[in-house]
A and B are shown apart, each in its own frame.
Chain A
């Protein structure tokens, strides 16, 4: 699976361990925990595979490889997709 950022011109505000994000395309304000925010930040420089995003997020969180629970990662990415902030594409569809 490949993850692509769909977030354009979003505004960030980090306070404490919480990220407050304004999404101009929906005019909504979101509150993200660190994991969700870091996934979104990983994708600022271009598409990455889901495995790469998970690895980079773990690195940014300062935890070892595999320590970020798959369920937590999947929940965060599905939430971001639901909000229209990322697109999750099957690898085959990105080749076409």
Chain B
């Protein structure tokens, strides 16, 4: 069963009642909300996501709700909560949807230490995955969105989830939050992409969410083998530069980029070492999405051969 099997009314009732159970890759969530505007968007953008079995245990109980008491009448706000705690200052109610999406990422980043968490986008084709570790603003979400609308499968635009037992990447194909100019870039690149409304003046500028292709969501329980690290950087007007990177440099860039390298200690050292040893690493500077996608397609074809 998927979210789309629920009517808008049923979904609203679940959100306002015991919560809507959702499955995002390896995580089960229960989401509660008493905001109508949130329910309408959730129905649209979460439509292809699966609902877990009724007996499934939820990893996180999250909510995005109007505050209690007088405050809800003074100023229209939305508070993100997890397991009954409210870790962030309230958001304006118009930003409830991106606030919940960020909150869920925060839960994954701070509470999933059974996995190595790389700050990285990831895509897969023919069983081989590319990881894109990058800092905010380097264009990893934009590039990742372009790739998943060009024949690649989305693993995640934010997390490289590495399973310690075998080094495989677990998909977490959540909505992709595009920011500012990237929104229009993707609208032009792939007009058929499903993009939600633009939220103006959020804490991260203008944000709009891209729904991943249905195939990526359907295959969310299918791990992938890491094959390449590509460190992207978008530079306005720059010609495409795609160059191999020394392994020592790749190791440092991956390790320093992980959310929980220090938490996992030796396991993290082993996993990052193994991945860097078995993957080829490149730096990619780009300004044109078509050129970047072509270069990565070519890399994939060469890897298949």
Contacts and interface: CB of A to CB of B under 8 A. Distances in A.
B269 A31 contact: no
B251 A27 contact: no
Contact of B266 (A13, A16, A22, A31): A22
A20 B272 CA distance: 11
B253 to A, nearest CB: 12
Contacts of B266: 11, 22, 24, 27
Contacts of A15: 246-248, 251, 276
Contact of B273 (A13, A16, A24, A27): A13
B252 interface: yes
Nearest to A21: B269
Contacts of A27: 262, 265-266
Contacts, number: 32
B132 to A, nearest CB: 21
B265 A20 contact: no
Interface string A9-41: 001010110101010100101010000000000
A20 B262 contact: no
A18 B286 CA distance: 29
B252 A31 contact: yes
Interface string B251-290: 1100100000110011001100100110000000000000
A18 B252 CA distance: 11
A51 to B, nearest CB: 31
B262 A16 contact: no
Given A13-B251, A27-B262, A31-B252, A20 B246 contact: no
A72 B232 CA distance: 36
A25 B248 CA distance: 23
A11 B273 CA distance: 10
B131 to A, nearest CB: 18
Contacts of A22: 266, 269
Interface of B: 246-248, 251-252, 255, 261-262, 265-266, 269-270, 273, 276-277
Given A11-B273, A13-B277, A15-B246, 19 more contacts: A11-B269, A13-B273, A15-B247, A15-B248, A15-B251, A15-B276, A16-B246, A16-B247, A16-B248, A18-B248, A20-B248, A20-B252, A20-B273, A22-B269, A24-B265, A24-B266, A27-B265, A29-B261, A31-B248
| 8 closest cross-chain pairs (CB), A and B | A18-B248, A15-B247, A15-B248, A22-B269, A27-B265, A16-B248, A16-B246, A13-B273
20 contacts: A11-B266, A11-B269, A11-B270, A11-B273, A13-B277, A15-B246, A15-B247, A15-B251, A16-B246, A16-B247, A20-B248, A20-B273, A22-B266, A24-B266, A27-B262, A27-B265, A29-B255, A29-B269, A31-B248, A31-B252
